[in-house]
Amino acid sequence: MKIIKFLFKVALAMILIFFVLAFFGEKTYQVKRSIVIKSNAQIVWEQVSNYSNWPNWSPWQENDPTVTNQFFGVPGTTEHSMSWIGDKDLSGTGNMKITSIDPNKSLDYLLTFEVPFAMHSDGGMTLTEKNGETILTWFDKGDIPFIMRPFMVFMDLEGQIAPDFERGLFKIDSLVRLQKVNQILK
């Protein structure tokens, strides 16, 4: 009987801790990374506003060669979207749709995953041109569901997402530099 009471108290304490962490835990997250690209915003914009260019620099495409993409709508408009199917443990299945756009300055998107689990977030890119250079900032933000908040104590979303953003930004910079070299050589 003492063991049952003890186990009941432990279970009750764990439930209480879970709900305290859920109530007071982080309700949202945001990850943001930037790079300075030695090019005008128009050239950088061509890479980020057209989803058919994303496989050229996407860190997820690089990590999961099984990904197949489909592109819909007119690039650089709110009608533009993409969907993908990939390895469920690497890139999963999902879609992304441009929700707002200011040409050569910013785009926002809605990112939705279906596999390995259902979730969505809001993200985007901003471009700030100054003295022939462009500061490209990539961000993602979202709500953390109540039931997931206690688990966030053990998860580092910044540590999981930021390296991919940094790799993607580096690859965009590399593509823009290569594009400039190719123009010079022509």
pTM of the model: 0.84
Structure tokens at 155: 């998860």
Q: Give the separation between CA 150 and CA 41, rounded to whole angstroms.
A: 41
Q: Kindly give, in sequence order, each residue whose CB lies less than 8 Å from that of residue 102, ignoring residues fewer than 6 positions away.
A: none
- Reading the chain (186 residues) residue by residue, the pLDDT tens digits are 788 887 777 778 787 877 777 777 788 889 999 999 999 999 999 999 999 999 999 998 888 989 999 999 999 899 999 999 999 888 889 999 999 999 999 999 999 998 777 788 999 999 999 998 999 999 999 888 777 777 777 778 788 889 999 999 999 999 998 887 777 777
Q: Give the separation between CA 140 and CA 26, rounded to whole angstroms.
A: 16
Asked if 122 and 108 count as a contact pair (C-beta separation under 8 A), the reply is: yes
Write the CA distances from 176 to 44, 78, 139, 171, integer angstroms: 7, 24, 20, 9
